[in-house]
Amino acid sequence: MKLNLTTRLALTQLKIKRARTVMTLLGISLSTATITAVYGYGESARTAIYKAIGRDLGYPAVILALGLILGGIVIAASVIVISNSFRVSAGERMRQFGLLKSVGATKKQISRIILAEGIFLSVIGIPAGLLIGLLVELLGLTVVSAAFRTLRAGNVLTVDVALPFVVTPWMFVVAIITSLATVLLAAWLPARQAAKMPAIDAIRQKSEVKATAKSVRVSKLTRLLFGFEGALAAKSMKRSRRNYRATVVSLTVSIVLFIAASSFGAQIKATTSVVWQNVDATAAGQYYSHSEPIDPQTVRAVTQKLRAYPGAAIFGVGARLENNTVSYITADDEHYAELCAAAGAPPGANILVNYRQEKIGGKYKTSVPHTLAAAREKYPAIRLDGELKGAKIPEEIKLFATEDLCLLVPESAANNYYWFANVQDSAAFRDYCEKVLQAQIPAPEGGEIWLHSFDLSGESKNVNTIVNTIMFFVYGFVGMLTLIALTNVISTVSANMRSRFREFAVLTSVGMTRDGIRKMLNLESVLCSAKSLVLGLPLGVAAAYAVYKGLGLSVEFPFELPWRALLASIAGVFAVTWATMRGAANRWKNGGIDAIRETSVK
């Protein structure tokens, strides 16, 4: 098939600049793959709902909104990355465009050259992205199916839930149209700029960023700290402000996404600890009755029986509520004695538990309601012999500290009592516990009691399964976007290095050593990384805090800075910029006068 001139020029450019072509193809493929996977998960959820209820409800509002948000993020990131690649390519060929214009090429023809490059890349990148997206969808659904099987085995799910792997024609149509529109938009933006530049300015390779002596001036402090090479590095970044801006933006986005995702993972795990308050137990038995409190003698008999189980460590704790203001908490004899010693009170003492967890407006909040003196003043009829606060309060006791006054007392009846156990085989202990409860606690006449046992290790496993499944998708999505951003960083930095090979040759001709050039590039990578981190770290912390506020709508827990994510971001950014710059610079070899005479670097 015979190609016209603009198409041949576009194809020739892609062949010449193979490295950039590969990186742009990678960006297009990753973008298409992410869009395909997001659409595939939505289609799978819709199909699962249809099979469950027997009729098609379309896309639920939550799934539709989530898909639109994720798709919008992918498109925005892709346009930035792919557009920057085309802009760098167009910038390197300004002289060529100027010569074409001088012999009669129109603005439309110049634009068509760059747009043709986008179409050629789409022909390869989009099908590859569709295939990668299907593989990502299949992997994700496999992980979810395994998680559902685990939850079904743990009786968290009472029905079989299956998310089928779905492939529909519309799925390909939407992904192809969205990806092609993204690529063409990304190519059109630099094509429009290239077409607008006058021919004489293009032939002279007049930069889009006008550099003046004032604009590239560096401070004396920079010269003092980093020497001549540092001053050159700072000037180079100011002259190539637009190229480095794209790199900084990509790195900043990656930093923010990584910190937000890491913080989300830590915070969602914190919310799951509210139910059992990080109780150190693998199993538990429970007695509950609204009208028939269990007496201390029965509690002691059950505790002894449960401790007879091989290797079982038992912590018995219960409570009785009085007037909806006072919670009388009781513990088994052994732990009660230990708590008396911790509070500095004699055996038989009433001990203030200075902690409260309450639910206000659907949100759990914890507080320290009283000092010992204030509690004595507010409740003069109740004897208070000591106080437990802070780390001295066991997590098992905190479960019952829900009222205005929480009091640990000896030998008290309890409406709600738990026997927490640490055992190797929690499932077997659960069966044993149920038999003990049934044997030791007869059903009262005219009253109702509730006896139950829990496999806490199984519940913990189920919670971890849910959390890990959620984090699989969060990190997967963030990882795909980070890879898209990194293609921009590598492509931009590599192109910037190649465009400066003549500059390096000039510097070596006037006496700068290869080590000096390496030092200059190292300083550039440090400055670029520092700027990304100055922007990315505060924004990342802000994003983490926004996630915290969102999760804190139902559960209160303290906000903690994601230090590990911050340190990992710092190390990762410096490593990426340094490795990319050094890798591109290592391709340069001292070319002397021949390199200076070259008008382009292939």
pLDDT at 1: 46
CB of 369 closer than 8 Å to CB of 451 = no
DSSP string, 466-486: HHHHHHHHHHHHHHHHHHHHH
d(CA 576, CA 272): 35
**Tokens 């297009």 sit at which residue?**
28
**Tokens 């022909």 sit at which residue?**
123
Classify each residue of 234-246 as buried b or exposed e, where b means 16 or more C-beta atoms within 10 Å of its C-beta. bbbbebbbebbeb
Task: Say if residue 293 is exposed, middle or buried (CB neighbours under 10 Å; 0-12, 13-18, 19+).
Answer: buried
d(CA 348, CA 350): 7
CB of 481 closer than 8 Å to CB of 34 = yes
d(CA 596, CA 581): 21
pLDDT at 585: 67
pLDDT at 432: 92
pLDDT along the chain (602 residues), means of 10: 67 76 83 85 76 59 65 73 71 71 77 84 90 89 78 58 79 85 80 73 56 58 67 70 73 84 74 61 89 90 93 92 86 93 91 78 64 86 88 87 87 91 87 91 78 77 72 79 76 69 73 75 80 90 82 63 88 85 67 48 42
**Tokens 């600049």 sit at which residue?**
17
E strand or H helix that includes residue 314: strand 313-322
Written as one letter, the residue type at 78 is S
Name residues whose C-beta falls within 8 Å of residue 287's C-beta, 6 or more positions apart in sequence.
294, 302, 318, 414, 416, 417, 437, 441, 449, 450, 451
CA angle, 365 then 366 then 372, to 5°: 145
Partners of 380 in the beta sheet?
Answer: none
Take residue 49 and report the two structure tokens written for it: 């709902």
pLDDT at 601: 41
pLDDT at 202: 62
pLDDT at 599: 45
Task: Say if residue 300 is exposed, middle or buried (CB neighbours under 10 Å; 0-12, 13-18, 19+).
Answer: middle
Classify each residue of 82-121 as buried b or exposed e, where b means 16 or more C-beta atoms within 10 Å of its C-beta. bbbbbbbbbbbbbebbbebbeeebeeebbbbbbbbbbebb
CB of 502 closer than 8 Å to CB of 598 = yes
pLDDT at 21: 81
CB of 375 closer than 8 Å to CB of 405 = yes
CB of 439 closer than 8 Å to CB of 298 = no
pLDDT at 425: 86
Partners of 407 in the beta sheet?
Answer: 328, 352
DSSP string, 409-465: -SS--BSEEEEEEE-S-HHHHHHHHHHHHHHHSPPPTT---EEEEE-HHHHHHHHHH
pLDDT at 209: 47
Instruction: Name the residue ranges covered by the structural domains of the chain.
Output: 1-208, 210-272+459-602, 283-454
d(CA 116, CA 126): 15
pLDDT at 339: 93
Please state the three-class secondary structure of 342-364 as a single string: HHCCCCCCCEEECCEEEEECCEE
Interaxial angle between packed helices 241-271 and 514-551, expressed in degrees from 0 to 180 and rounded to the nearest 10: 40
CB of 403 closer than 8 Å to CB of 359 = no
Interaxial angle between packed helices 456-499 and 501-509, expressed in degrees from 0 to 180 and rounded to the nearest 10: 60
CB of 290 closer than 8 Å to CB of 415 = yes
DSSP string, 224-247: HHHHHHHHHHHHHHHHTHHHHHHH
Take residue 122 and report the two structure tokens written for it: 């789409």
Written as one letter, the residue type at 421 is A
CB of 358 closer than 8 Å to CB of 550 = no
CB of 327 closer than 8 Å to CB of 407 = yes
Task: Say if residue 550 is exposed, middle or buried (CB neighbours under 10 Å; 0-12, 13-18, 19+).
Answer: exposed
Strand order in the sheet with 313-322: 386-388, 351-353, 405-408, 326-331, 313-322, 416-422, 283-288, 450-454
Tell whether pTM > 0.75: no
Name residues whose C-beta falls within 8 Å of residue 181's C-beta, 6 or more positions apart in sequence.
none
Please state the three-class secondary structure of 56-86 as a single string: CCCCCHHHHHHHHHHHHHHHHHHHHHHHHHH
pLDDT at 600: 44
Q: 3-state class of 553 per DSSP? A: coil
